[in-house]
């Protein structure tokens, strides 16, 4: 009876290959994260508002609180507004806390919009806070926020 040879050839890395692999791993572990931070999100919000701190009211972020997957998350944002006179939403911005960029989208409204509501789908790489900020015609700003839990980040599915 003969013995079957191993289907995989034997491989022994060289010292140089081991050092290169270790250096690459160390660089990867020490590299800055590809996520935005709470501070970056706050800076993006202040850039949108021109430095004005928005009041927490009138804006609703409708998104599932517990997400099985962050790959394509249905998101709806709306503002309580008569859409007339000074009670008119000119734009609505959506921000996130931990994706690579804190700015998600900006929606612009006109008199033909009828209501200040926008829907989209977003990718979420981790559990985080989602914030929507409304700019009113009179120059005031309002915001709403929601914390979401993502069990499977969007980026994990790409692998």
**pLDDT tens-place string over residues 87-138:** 999 999 999 998 888 999 999 999 889 999 999 999 998 899 999 999 999 9
pTM: 0.74
Q: pLDDT exceeding 70 applies to what percent of the chain?
A: 77
Q: At residue 82, does pLDDT exceed 60? A: yes
What burial letters (b/e) apply to 44-56, b meaning 16+ CB within 10 Å? bbeebbeeeebee
φ/ψ bin of 20: left (φ > 0), alpha (ψ from -120 to 50), beta (otherwise): alpha
Q: At residue 79, does pLDDT exceed 70? A: yes
CATH number, domain 38-158, options 1.10.1750.10, 3.40.50.720, 3.50.50.60, 2.60.40.2470: 2.60.40.2470
- Identify the bridge partners of residue 100 per DSSP, sorted by sequence position: none
């Amino acid at each position: 009876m003969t013995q079957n040879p191993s289907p995989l050839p034997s491989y022994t890395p060289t010292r140089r290959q081991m050092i290169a692999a270790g250096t690459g791993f160390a660089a990867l572990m020490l590299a800055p994260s590809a996520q935005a931070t709470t501070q970056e999100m706050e800076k993006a919000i202040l850039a949108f508002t021109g430095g004005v701190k928005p009041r927490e009211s009138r804006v609703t972020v409708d998104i599932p609180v517990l997400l099985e997957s962050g790959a394509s998350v249905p998101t709806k944002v709306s503002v309580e507004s008569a859409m007339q006179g000074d009670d008119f939403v000119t734009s609505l911005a959506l921000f996130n806390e931990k994706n690579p960029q804190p700015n998600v989208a900006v929606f612009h409204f006109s008199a033909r919009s009828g209501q200040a509501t926008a829907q989209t789908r977003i990718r979420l790489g981790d559990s985080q806070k989602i914030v929507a900020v409304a700019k009113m015609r009179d120059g005031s700003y309002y915001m709403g926020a929601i914390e979401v839990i993502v069990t499977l980040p969007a980026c994990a599915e790409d692998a």
